[in-house]
């Protein structure tokens, strides 16, 4: 009897996608849009492919994949600035992520410093770079 979940994940043949970071694969899976494909069957096939690239069932046990899902869900429940900080620390488990959040509760200045540094990096550095570049110079890509 066929699985109600569809065919098992097949290895991806594209060498670039097999070597991508798990976070990149997760974002591609979560960012999938129905409009990217021709119809519902193609959408399901693409979602399965993207999910397999992220969870890598050929390399991870069921327990490890569940931990990845729980970690993602836990991070999604956090306020955006805390979520971004915790993701930046690259926790390996939900427990590690929870410990990082607990650490922030004991030392909120740690998060404030991170937010300040990232706001400055996004707002001040591009302006400073623009003033230092000579006119007509190509922008790095």
Q: Cα separation of 48 and 39, whole Å?
A: 14
Any idea what the CATH number is for the domain that residue 37 is in?
1.10.4020.10
| Structural domain total, the chain | 2
pLDDT tens readout for residues 95-122: 999 999 999 888 878 777 777 776 666 6
Residues 54 and 6 in one domain: yes
Angle at 115 between CA 113 and CA 67, to 5 degrees: 105
Q: Cα separation of 128 and 13, whole Å?
A: 43
Pick from 66, 59, 68, 69: which is nearest to 18 by CA?
59
pLDDT tens readout for residues 27-65: 999 999 998 889 999 999 999 999 999 999 999 999 999
Pick from 48, 56, 49, 47: which is nearest to 23 by CA?
56
Range of the domain at 42: 1-59
Residues 55 and 1 in one domain: yes
pLDDT tens readout for residues 8-34: 444 444 544 445 688 899 999 999 999
Residues 55 and 93 in one domain: no
Would you say residue 92 lies in a domain? yes
Would you say residue 109 lies in a domain? yes
């Amino acid at each position: 009897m066929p699985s109600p979940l569809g065919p098992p994940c097949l290895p991806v043949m594209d060498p670039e996608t097999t070597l991508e970071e798990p976070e990149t694969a997760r974002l591609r899976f979560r960012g999938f849009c129905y409009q990217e494909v021709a119809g519902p069957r193609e959408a399901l096939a693409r979602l399965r492919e993207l999910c397999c690239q992220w969870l890598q069932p050929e390399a991870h046990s069921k327990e490890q994949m569940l931990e990845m899902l729980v970690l993602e869900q836990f991070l999604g429940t956090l306020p955006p600035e805390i979520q971004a900080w915790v993701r930046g620390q690259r926790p390996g488990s939900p427990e590690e992520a929870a410990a990082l959040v607990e650490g922030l509760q004991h030392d909120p200045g740690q998060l404030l410093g991170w937010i300040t540094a990232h706001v400055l990096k996004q707002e001040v550095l591009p302006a400073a770079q623009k003033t230092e570049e000579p006119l007509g110079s190509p922008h790095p890509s």
